[in-house]
Amino acid sequence: MVFDDEEIPPRSCRSKNFIPKTMFVAAAARPSKGRWNGKIGLWPFTEQYEAKKKSRYIDKGKLCTRNIETVNRDVSRSYLIRYVISAIKTSWPRGWDRRRSILIQQDNAKPHVPVNDPGVVGAGTADGWNIRMIFQPVNSPDLNCLDLGLFASLQSLQYDELCNNIDELIQAEELAYATMHTAISSRTMLALKFPSS
């Protein structure tokens, strides 16, 4: 709100062509009523680097965050093994049978890991677990349902926060994931058709 005798403060913003786009990998499962909320984790495709020079915004030697420019199969494999599979193992509810098939479903994008990748199969079957990869069936709306339900609600919650850099965007997205109501993921998962294991 500006009064008549005040000047409008200058406000500038970058062109959308130069705003960096940060990708995330999210893992969610079917929630269980009263026992588990189904949230496994959310991880950004970013890396830390040390600033080599002092600038107007950053001091020399400060740790900064930047996006991983090319997410290829190797990056996808390392994120699956390091983050997704280990998070499934740590967040899986106690008392649930871990020898039953736990399926990680992904769409058929080229950078995604093949179903029989030895590194992912080895990490998924270690310590008596049975975590397997499956691709989205052709012409199936399964992951489209996740895009329109779960990830769209995450994005709308994240848009409530003003983000000026990548670190603030990551914090806003993690806060949105943590505060997202379980009913949203429950309704989204009800629309999915899970293959029999």
Task: Please tell me the predicted confidence (pLDDT) of residue 76.
Answer: 92
Residue 1 placed within a domain: no
Q: Is residue 110 part of a domain?
A: yes
Structurally, how many domains does the chain consist of? 1
Q: Is 2 inside a domain boundary?
A: no
User: Which ranges of the chain have pLDDT less than 50?
Assistant: 196-197
| In-domain check, residue 126 | yes
And the tokens for 108?
């058929």
- Take residue 13 and report the two structure tokens written for it: 């913003």
Instruction: Give the domain extent around 55.
Output: 21-191
Domain contains 34: yes
Task: Please check whether residue 116 lies inside any domain of the structure.
Answer: yes
User: What is the rounded CA–CA span in Å between residue 38 and residue 154?
Assistant: 15
Spatial contact of 140 and 94, defined as CB atoms under 8 Å apart: no
Residue-wise pLDDT tens digits, 64-104: 899 998 899 999 999 999 999 999 999 888 877 777 888 88
Does residue 79 lie within any of the structural domains? yes
Question: What does the alpha-carbon distance between residue 95 and residue 104 come to, in Å, rounded to a whole number?
Answer: 21
Inside any domain, residue 58: yes
